[in-house]
Amino acid sequence: MSQNFRLFIAVNLPQSFKAALAQVQNQLNQMRAVRWTKPAHIHLTLQFLGDVPVGRVDAIVDALNQTAPSVAAFDLSPAGVGAFPGLKRPRIIWVGVASSAAEAPASLHRAVIRATQTVGFTPEARPFSPHLTIGRVQKWAGKTDYARIADIITRTPIESVGGFTVRRISLVRSQLKPTGPVYTTLAEVPMGD
């Protein structure tokens, strides 16, 4: 029986950026109905691959190595705080991201999708919406919690969070544990200059 790894492809964030996001979480922490993402776990997901046989990992890395250098490195900065599916009944609290090269995050996502399609993965049906998940709303939350979350989100500035340059993408293993996920970077793939 072959072993499977739960995998995703992401942009890992520098420590300074994660520390700044932790400050945003501190500004928002008045919301009792939110379980906050550990800053060390915050990343920009490019594609979730799911449970993958270990024997396919090398092929995925090879495909990413063929594609990633065709995408130029780009700057990434925060672009507001929001919620999915919306502020009326939020489930996910996120920080949006933007680049001065407006299409750069989407171009990187498309390159990753092209690479993984060559080794048998299909893209998700929902459109790519670049964001950093910083918290999840508890299932027991009610209307009062939702209203408070919406109010705090709309009043929280994130100007103090600086940007960084995306120079590589990572293939990451996610192990789900009772204490929370454990992420292990299996490979880092450089992008173009």
Catalytic site residue from 109, 131, 132, 189: 131
Find the radius of gyration of the CA atoms of the chain: 17
Active site residue 109: no
Can the peptide bond before residue 127 be classed as cis, meaning omega within 30 degrees of 0?
Answer: no
What are the φ/ψ torsions at residue 44 (nearest 5 degrees)?
-100, 105
Name every residue whose Cβ is closer than 8 Å to that of residue 75 and which is 6 or more positions away in sequence: 99, 100, 101, 163, 164, 165, 166
List the structure tokens of 36.
């906050």
Catalytic site residue from 43, 81, 83, 189: 43
Active site residue 131: yes
DSSP 131: E
Active-site residue list: 43, 131
